[in-house]
Structure 1
């Protein structure tokens, strides 16, 4: 590739299109080829052209097919060229995600819960309030899971539950993944997800349901 022109003090948090978690991801059941140059970390639509395999494009109408994950699957044979996030026309697009957590750059100041919109001309992902009308873009099921300023890498997801806020259509995720465990001491009952026991058994014992089928106890397994 071309000679390096700058040096950063710190490693980038992520690159556009990178996975942002180890949560389950869902992809299209078939692979596609690029009907035109495809930008990684953007949205794509299935081409109406009858081809085998089918093609995807960064342009379309209505809800996009999915999001293109960055998986470093395309070779760059021009050793003097700059690195790009482009999958050339005709190359395989092997990771079109239907669900998952990814990084994308913020096009504006982003707050948690903002909706992700797909530009119908470029496939670019942008942020705006859920339910708002954005010229040349359609709202997707993805939402901002982190906040940041323009240019920051933002985690987006369509896996987390979204709860409507009392003030309007913007989702309120302020209580997401929070739990008050300050009063959890001693024995944790079965009804609350515990085992109902307060001590560890002896070596070789296993935790089983008692004879009354109303609790658990440590028992020593017997031979078959």
Structure 2
């Protein structure tokens, strides 16, 4: 929230991106000024990816570089703005690849399981959801074929987005959708791929925007139920 307009009976436990404990934590090793926010800026309290040049975004391919801790680094630039979680382009960024943090849940979680549910980061915007290790949360089922680096989709169970990871028999590892070429937006049509699988006849494939991280779901806030939008604790200290 921005300027205070109400008084709550109880204080909130935290703001997303806050440390969830005083336990040891560690940052991604980088030189001074090496990691900077990219052209779209970086949103605090989400996962982020740094490229080889040190440019950081809330989107990327493969496992994220780290989590963006809240250290009052957001900068309000909008006219009459009261709040922001956005670190503007060009500002220095610190990423954490270990520790205990508060984060916002995007998919309902009923309980804290054992073994712990893993945090899966969206490669599209850095948000997260929780699922069993090795699973593919929110994966789409496609009926598709390939020719060189073009994916032709004839059926899909959901909306296809640029940046999704595609898997299937004969599909090369780390094959991502880089753009739509023809067809209905986000649905049937042709898409360009980041690799060249060659010719694959029509088969069942999967596409997902989520990648498993080294963080696990550690707990809810007092009175929390794991509902969508609630703050939850994530950690790299327990499996």
- TM-score for the superposition, normalised by structure 2: 0.60
The correspondence of residues 19-38 of structure 1 with structure 2, limited to 5 A, is 19-30=19-30, 31-35=34-38, 36-38=40-42
Other-structure match for 2:70: 70
Distance 1:77 1:19 in 2: 25
Report how far residue 74 of structure 1 moved. Answer: 3.8
Gaps of 5+ in 2: 138-207
Other-structure match for 2:154: none
Gaps of 5+ in 1: 163-224
Distance 1:115 1:2 in 2: 32
Shift in CA distance, 145/75, structure 1 to aligned 2, threshold 3 Å: same
Quick check: 1-10 or 116-125, which moved more? Answer: 1-10
User: Is 1:145 the equivalent of 2:148?
Assistant: no
Other-structure match for 2:55: 55
The correspondence of residues 1-224 of structure 1 with structure 2, limited to 5 A, is 4-30=4-30, 31-35=34-38, 36-48=40-52, 50=53, 54-76=54-76, 80-93=80-93, 95-107=94-106, 108-112=108-112, 113-134=116-137, 135-147=208-220, 148-150=225-227, 151-160=229-238, 162=239
Q: Which has the larger radius of gyration?
A: 1
Shift in CA distance, 2/102, structure 1 to aligned 2, threshold 3 Å: closer
In terms of fraction of residues, the more strand-rich structure is: 2
Q: How many residues align?
A: 156
Report how far residue 152 of structure 1 moved. Answer: 2.3
Distance 1:2 1:13 in 2: 17
Distance 1:90 1:77 in 2: 14
Task: Answer whether contact 2:75 2:86 (CA < 8 A) is retained.
Answer: no
Distance 1:39 1:119 in 2: 13
- TM-score for the superposition, normalised by structure 1: 0.63
Task: Answer whether contact 1:34 1:92 (CA < 8 A) is retained.
Answer: yes
Distance 1:3 1:29 in 2: 36
- Compare relative contact order (CA 8 Å, sep 6+) and give the higher one, 1 or 2: 2
Distance 1:2 1:16 in 2: 15
Shift in CA distance, 32/111, structure 1 to aligned 2, threshold 3 Å: same
